[in-house]
Structure 1
Amino acid sequence: MKVTILGSGDAFGTGGRFNTCLHVEAGAGAERMLLDCGASSMVALNRAGIERNGLSTLLFTHFHGDHFGGLPAFLLDAQFASRRTEALTIAGPAGIEHRTLHALEADFPGSSTNRWRFPITYVEVTPEQPATLAGINVSAFPMVHDERAGPCQGYRLDHAGRIFAFSGDTAWTDALIPLAAGADVLLVECYAYDTKLANHLDYRTLSAHRSELDTARIVLTHMGMSMLAGHGDLPEERAHDGMTIEL
């Protein structure tokens, strides 16, 4: 499994980083998917030279614009620019179809009733209902972020015995423990350094719980200004746009 971090930024593009967008492929020649597609993701995809019609699946952690906001442009690009004919799966928390249609109407009024030139299948992935997407087994875990934009979820992606875990956006929750358990890599949001927030993780809190996270490799993402400001050498890696993780 190969994960390319096309966007590692927060909602505000702090540090010039793109919104959250991960390109995931099970292996050479396998189906490919995006895990989140934030508002700036079309720019990130174009800059990386990724052929969008080859993406079979879009999977979302929650419905904030910096994770979900690129979907309307992705769909209209598929309809009118790349003229997609391949089937597309749009997956995510409960309510994914309703949220997609609502986002289309908000961004491009009337577009939710388009006669799409490609089939679209909606798949709800919940803690009670895992799924296989783009050839990868996906399990959902409830996160603590903002239920107005949720349910908010983290995911474990399991392929050929290799596990990639992604928190999405969350404050500390004990659900991070089973999310990370035995994972080869945990990509976890770490918005602030030592400021405790109700809906985001800070580094001090994450560090205090490090021994509970049973994974050898942690990569920090979704970093705000206080995390990008330095703080010397941390034991965890810090994500950057274009970073590749091979599992």
Structure 2
Amino acid sequence: MEVFFPGSSKVDRRFAVEFVELREREPTLVGPASVTPFVVKHASGAPAYALRVEYGERVISYSGDTEWTESLVDAARGADLFVCEAYFFEKKIKYHLDYQTLRENRHRLDCRRVVLTHMKADMLHRHDEADMECAHDGLVITL
């Protein structure tokens, strides 16, 4: 953790911290949940992952910054909810998703619900054109 957050090992925490090593596409128990990482495409100095979290009968998949990659299809498969970025509406840039790419591939994301997040001003101004739900401050999701 010191590599990404210098000084963090010297902070007095009011809660226990447990580090769990995740391996690509290998489900790992983290407390009562099963977490499976899928490599995505983002330059961050360390491997970037989409995460699939299974808890009881529910599945949530999440991907932060990434450009389109087939591993998103696998991460979202059968999920109750897939949360992913839509950085721009249609502009394509390296390491980020745009809404149009997600829209073109929505039929391949075999999940019940998609919620878009991490939207830049371009996407925020055009969110009413999207046929996928856009996250907003205060959004509460019940599965």
Fold conserved between structures, TM > 0.5? yes
Is 1:193 aligned to 2:89, yes or no? yes
Once the two structures are TM-superposed, the CA of residue 128 in structure 1 deviates from its matched residue by 4.7
Once the two structures are TM-superposed, the CA of residue 231 in structure 1 deviates from its matched residue by 5.1
Any idea what SS the aligned residue of 1:193 has? coil
**In terms of mean alpha carbon deviation, does 150-159 or 226-235 score higher?**
226-235
Decide which structure has greater strand share: 1
Once the two structures are TM-superposed, the CA of residue 119 in structure 1 deviates from its matched residue by 4.8
Match of 1:33?
none
Decide which structure has greater helix share: 1
Kept in 1, the 8 Å contact 2:52–2:62? The answer is: yes
Match of 1:209?
105
Percent identity among equivalent residues?
A: 36
In the TM superposition, 1:38-53 aligns within 5 A as none
Any idea what SS the aligned residue of 1:141 has? strand
Distance 1:189 1:133, change over 3 A: same
Match of 1:102?
3
The RMSD of aligned alpha carbons is 2.1
Once the two structures are TM-superposed, the CA of residue 202 in structure 1 deviates from its matched residue by 0.6
The alignment's TM-score, normalised by the length of structure 1, stands at 0.53
Cα distance in 2 between the residues matched to 1:226 and 1:114:
38
Once the two structures are TM-superposed, the CA of residue 118 in structure 1 deviates from its matched residue by 5.8
Match of 2:130?
234
Any idea what SS the aligned residue of 1:132 has? strand
Any idea what SS the aligned residue of 1:178 has? helix
Is 1:126 aligned to 2:27, yes or no? no
Once the two structures are TM-superposed, the CA of residue 125 in structure 1 deviates from its matched residue by 1.5
Cα distance in 1 between the residues matched to 2:92 and 2:14:
47
Residue 154 of structure 1 aligns to which amino acid in structure 2? Answer: A
Any idea what SS the aligned residue of 1:165 has? strand
Once the two structures are TM-superposed, the CA of residue 134 in structure 1 deviates from its matched residue by 3.6
Once the two structures are TM-superposed, the CA of residue 129 in structure 1 deviates from its matched residue by 3.9
Cα distance in 1 between the residues matched to 2:82 and 2:47:
20
- Structure possessing the higher relative contact order (Cα contacts under 8 Å, 6 or more residues apart): 1
Which consecutive residues of structure 2, in runs of 5 or more, have no partner in the other structure? Answer: none
Which consecutive residues of structure 1, in runs of 5 or more, have no partner in the other structure? Answer: 1-99
Structure of higher CA gyration radius:
1
State the Cα deviation string for residues 172-205 of structure 1 (Å, max 9, x = none).
0000111111111110111011111110001111
State the Cα deviation string for residues 57-102 of structure 1 (Å, max 9, x = none).
xxxxxxxxxxxxxxxxxxxxxxxxxxxxxxxxxxxxxxxxxxx123
Cα distance in 1 between the residues matched to 2:42 and 2:136:
22
Cα distance in 2 between the residues matched to 1:217 and 1:118:
33
Any idea what SS the aligned residue of 1:219 has? strand
The alignment's TM-score, normalised by the length of structure 2, stands at 0.88
